[in-house]
Chains A and B, each alone.
Chain A
Amino acid sequence: MEAARDDGEAAALGATQLTAEASDAQLVARCRTGDEDAWRELVDRFSRYVYAICVQAFRLPEHDAEDVYQEVFARVYEKLETLREDDAFRPWIAQLTRRLCIDRKRSGAREEPADEVPETAADDVLGELEEAFDVHEALAALPDNCQEILDRFFARDESYRTIGDALELPAGTIASRISRCLTKLRDHWEETGPSTRPESR
């Protein structure tokens, strides 16, 4: 992929969230033109997914997970031209991450035998992570700070006080907001076709 320009903006740090502004295919197409904002958004969109595959599905230790994470995005950057269907970006990056995790586990096991994660168990978690990705995308459609409140509480493990301070809301109202937001999420999830999604595992 050729870089067309460098606007010098600092990359957004972890506070960004999955958005549904552009489809994966649109984002991939923009990345191919060298659009660095699109690249940043693509990394942002799939960062949690890649990270979760490394540390939850394959239980890589942090230093191995970091190497695999960086390797995944380096390969995506190099190989984006070879992706045949832009719509298939998500399964493509999942498969690439899975393969690199397996390679890392195997090379690590040769050097230092450790607990093996059976690939079938990892694949079960991968299925759940795919569903989790869909839920995070659904969060983006929610109003009233819901995306941020639910993400901060459930994904970032922040306390009511921390969330309240960050969003300038009384800490005593956070629990009820979480409850209302979850109801909105559930309603939205049902409206947008949960029947097409896999049953809970």
Chain B
Amino acid sequence: MSAYDIAQLSRLIGMLPPAPADWVQAAQELPRARRELDTIVERAEADQAFREGVVADLETALRAEGIEPTRPLLEELRRRVSE
């Protein structure tokens, strides 16, 4: 980069806008989401009716625990309650 290229610096600053806030929040809350997911799976293993409800509507099951149902979490929950 040229020593005097302020225009280039400005352009580079503009190349990294923030990600949508809800995406960031969901990623930051992954540790908690994983714990809640473990709880759902444990309960599903112990309660057949609960398990059927989870399988029928994974998104609602996650939302009920306050977890944003991102695709990786949905896939993991689907995999674990189907095992």
Contacts and interface: CB of A to CB of B under 8 A. Distances in A.
B27 A69 contact: yes
A199 B1 contact: yes
B29 A136 contact: no
Given A70-B27, A71-B71, A73-B27, A3 B10 contact: no
B31 A3 contact: yes
Interface of B: 1-6, 8-21, 23-32, 34-35, 70-73, 76
17 contacts: A3-B35, A36-B31, A39-B28, A39-B31, A73-B27, A74-B30, A128-B12, A132-B16, A136-B13, A136-B16, A150-B13, A154-B14, A156-B18, A190-B3, A199-B1, A200-B1, A200-B5
Interface in A174-201: 182-183, 185-186, 189-190, 194, 197-200
Contacts of A96: none
Given A6-B35, A73-B27, A182-B9, A132 B15 contact: yes
Contacts, number: 141
A114 interface: no
Contact of A135 (B12, B31, B72, B73): B12
Interface of A: 1, 3, 6, 10-15, 34, 36, 39-40, 43-44, 47-52, 56, 66-67, 69-71, 73-75, 77, 128-129, 131-133, 135-136, 139, 150-151, 154-157, 182-183, 185-186, 189-190, 194, 197-200
Given A14-B18, A43-B24, A71-B71, A132 B13 contact: yes
Per DSSP, are chain B's interface residues mostly helix, strand or loop, or mixed?
A: helix
A156 B12 contact: no
Given A14-B21, A47-B18, 20 more contacts: A13-B21, A14-B18, A43-B27, A43-B30, A44-B24, A48-B16, A51-B23, A70-B72, A74-B30, A74-B70, A74-B73, A75-B72, A129-B16, A133-B16, A154-B14, A155-B16, A157-B14, A189-B9, A197-B1, A198-B1
